[in-house]
Chain A
């Protein structure tokens, strides 16, 4: 019997004839109800009551007037000039700043992805750092620099140079600050997309006679469109939901998050129902934006067939100089705020006026007066982070491995809901749900932990889910075949295998939690005060101790960048996206 014939006959069949049905068979775990089903039900209860319930309370509040169902709140919201202006401002600023961020970041990403330039890793590190820097940092620093009595404004005036504007405060300031704060997000996405394009596509294009610019516009740019769409979506939504920046640098420009905040919390004439209606409008915009992004991405994901690395083109002379200069300007402007706070934290302030005298007084005062705040911030974010990781691991496992028919998809959807909930909206929902009734959490540290947990759960879950799909189910079955119960197999086999994702996902989650402002500012109460709140309140008051606020910002930056450094050193690619 000629053996080769036989094998040739059978093997291709495995590939060509394999019916689709047996594939899920292999991945599905045993259907025996057990401890996992209980875990799933417990998680569903927890997530439904902390994520879904507050949003339902918000919807209820928004549609209730005089104790009955009504659209009155929405009618009032849309007919009040102050809110009309806020909607318009928020949309225009988000779109304009999003477009500008793309315009700034995409060429930068392209030259770094295409050409052999020095300092590549440096720029990539800066970009990653920029994506996790505190959201209000830019506004705070640029006001210090270019506000009416700003450091640079005063200095330039002293030298007889007149700026074209009186102060950076205003809608233009919001755009300026958010462009530099969000460009890094677009930059990283675009860089990865440009690097992933199969080099033979360019070669094919030039082989049929296309010049380099034609190839760039007709081949490379279209291939990167999905990443650009996502980048634009993420940066503009970040700008749209940003709370700290418009309040610090907006100079009273009404924007949606701030308008809703004042409507809900200001000392005069609060109206929770109108604020709820406004929240739902924000949520609606977020949903539409997500739908638009998904629509734009449809049929636009190109699978790259080649694993050949894209070669970096050599470049010399003036061209090289211009490219580096451009990258330098983009990242220089993005990191002006960081330099400003470091600098001002080491200088003397008197009644809100900067004196050019170096000092460590700010740090001494900071640790004397505000050590508790620093520790509180780290503690709250730390607890929320641990919770988040635990729940994320369980949810990811339940959705990837144990596909319970209704519970698993439900868990998956609920964990993704916070992805589109702006911080302000989340906070209002939590106050409505837990400010009265059987479980009162307002005024406690728990509500802050809860808010941090909810805001980051989608991201942490997704990163662990991605890692989990790489772990073959047979590894866990092997453990059960040698006698391990399901929980033990999960703990001793699966969890250690996704540890890199747990560590990096958890760290990035921690960074975002420790810098969270928009929900914190609505939910905090004495003595549970965070660094972000202190810096924010300082930034809002003239003649406040800016030196101490800057010193605290430096501490906050360290709390972010030190963990980031260690995680990045251990796991090559970590981004907040």
Chain B
């Protein structure tokens, strides 16, 4: 197979409006040729819409999409030379595996022998040689997804677009397929754009992660950058489990927390905000200590549970915030007693109410309660 026919993809000021709903609000993104880029975000953030615009299934309301600098925003999907892998596989149930893969090749008027060759090659690549005569209904979910990938790759497309391709698989298969997908992408040298809501998947597979939120891209960067130096409260809270503490940042590494912190915090990385800011604390960067006097923060132990690799405990801080801490050693404190937290690493983001909430439905109902008397 030819190496590296992947193209660079450019997204410039893409907006997409649906009746009564704005899905994308001016999105910019640069995707390097032959890289693996993930669009990560909660459902409804616009990530799938952006992918479908790249595929040509949707037309952007405004903005440009380029492949190697060529504007293709008006080009229909059947001319774009893309491969698309769907969440539900979308194999044609009335065609055999061979016909599923050969369909696009026949449309390209390839010779019979060449088609047969490519079908065999693609099936070998995904480890399904010998299943060409089976029908989709006879294969397991994982096998069907492999066929879907083979179908997309057989055309040697310039871009491979994947819409949560692993989310219908069981947990174990999902983890195995991550590495396999990545191997295929590297082997073929194709540009891959991958949509997912699973941050673990995004961090493990990507060269570049774009965290999307409410129709915008909050932050683009390497997995390390996204995880270690989040730029917004949303990114910090969506990737992993965090505690956010409000305060004021001087923009030069100094941070005065609203809740008194004893002692100096470790130095921050990356661009620092000035003014109101939030300290991002991840459980694995914290440690629980019994020696309250030498701790950065103190709180009341709410619960503590053992997870095999260590413990996770939750503490109620003085301002009511619940802070989760991972630690290897058991603590002496019992629930209800005081314990200390040592901060090993932390990040700073500009203050925002716009963080990823787990309990949003409850928050809505609380709003309802507030609004009720007025109405």
Contacts and interface: CB of A to CB of B under 8 A. Distances in A.
Interface stretch (A4-12, A330-338, A365-373): A4-12
Interface in A310-345: none
B90 A475 contact: yes
Contacts of B108: 483
A221 to B, nearest CB: 39
Contacts of A472: 88, 90
B197 A21 contact: no
A5 B152 CA distance: 33
Contacts of B58: 25, 28, 30
Given A6-B199, A25-B18, A483-B78, A18 B44 contact: yes
B82 interface: yes
Given A2-B309, A25-B49, A477 B77 contact: yes
A6 B241 contact: yes
B245 to A, nearest CB: 20
B365 to A, nearest CB: 12
B48 A497 contact: no
B59 A478 contact: no
A9 B103 CA distance: 40
Contacts of B198: 6-7, 10
Contacts of A14: 43, 197
Contacts of B142: none
A481 B77 CA distance: 6
Nearest to A1: B284
A22 B107 contact: no
A299 interface: no
B78 A22 contact: no
B104 interface: yes
Given A2-B312, A21-B18, A31 B59 contact: yes
A21 B44 contact: yes
A196 interface: no
Interface in B84-102: 84, 86-88, 90-94
A480 B57 contact: yes
Place the interface of chain B in its size category: 35 or more
Q: Which of A28, A478, A493 has the most CB of B within 10 A?
A: A478
Contact of B78 (A1, A18, A25, A485): A485
A22 B21 CA distance: 9
Place the interface of chain A in its size category: 35 or more
Contact of B82 (A24, A32, A481): A481
B51 to A, nearest CB: 11
Nearest to A474: B90
Nearest to A22: B44
A485 B87 CA distance: 22
A485 B56 CA distance: 12
Nearest to B196: A10
Contacts of B151: 478, 482
Given A2-B312, A5-B241, A22 B48 contact: yes
B155 A477 contact: no
Interface string B330-364: 00000000000000000000000000001011000
Contact of A17 (B42, B55, B148): B42
B200 interface: yes
B59 A30 contact: yes
A16 to B, nearest CB: 6
Interface in A484-540: 484-486, 488, 492-493, 496-497
Interface in B207-239: none
B76 A30 contact: yes
A481 to B, nearest CB: 4
Contacts of B197: 10, 13-14
Nearest to A499: B94
Contacts of A24: 18
Contacts of B93: 497
A437 interface: no
A3 interface: yes
A480 B90 CA distance: 12
A481 B152 contact: yes
Interface in B237-275: 240-241
Interface string A110-127: 000000000000000000
Contacts of B312: 2
Contacts of A25: 18, 21, 23, 48-49, 58
Interface in B290-339: 307, 309, 312, 326
Contacts of B57: 29-30, 477, 480-481
Contact of B200 (A6, A19, A492, A496): A6
Given A7-B198, A10-B199, A483-B155, A32 B76 contact: yes
B88 to A, nearest CB: 6
Q: Which of B77, B155, B361 has the most CB of A within 10 A?
A: B77
Contacts of B161: 481
Contacts of B69: none
Q: Which of A3, A30, A31 has the most CB of B within 10 A?
A: A30
A474 B88 contact: yes
A3 B93 CA distance: 35
Contacts of B155: 482-483
A71 to B, nearest CB: 43
A414 interface: no
A482 B44 contact: no
A477 B90 contact: yes
Contacts of A10: 42, 197-199
A569 interface: no
Interface string B1-39: 000000000000000001011010000000000000000
B189 interface: no
A481 B52 CA distance: 10
B260 to A, nearest CB: 29
B361 A3 contact: no
Nearest to B44: A19
Given A6-B240, A25-B18, A480 B78 contact: yes
Contacts of A22: 21, 23, 43-44, 48-49
A309 interface: no
A479 interface: yes
Contact of A9 (B94, B241, B307, B309): B241
A17 B360 contact: yes
A486 B79 CA distance: 12
B182 to A, nearest CB: 18
A5 B282 CA distance: 13
Contacts of A18: 43-44
Given A21-B18, A474-B88, A475-B92, A484 B78 contact: yes
15 contacts: A1-B240, A6-B198, A7-B198, A9-B241, A13-B43, A17-B44, A22-B23, A24-B18, A29-B57, A30-B58, A30-B59, A478-B151, A481-B78, A483-B79, A497-B94
Given A9-B241, A30-B56, A497-B94, 12 more contacts: A5-B241, A9-B358, A10-B42, A17-B360, A17-B361, A22-B48, A25-B18, A32-B59, A477-B77, A480-B57, A480-B76, A486-B78
Interface of B: 18, 20-21, 23, 42-44, 48-49, 55-59, 76-79, 81-84, 86-88, 90-94, 103-104, 107-108, 148, 151-152, 155, 161, 171, 197-200, 240-241, 284, 307, 309, 312, 326, 358, 360-361
Interface of A: 1-3, 5-7, 9-10, 13-14, 16-19, 21-22, 24-26, 28-32, 472, 474-475, 477-486, 488, 492-493, 496-497
Nearest 8 pairs of A and B residues by beta carbon: A482-B104, A21-B21, A481-B84, A474-B90, A478-B90, A483-B107, A474-B86, A19-B44
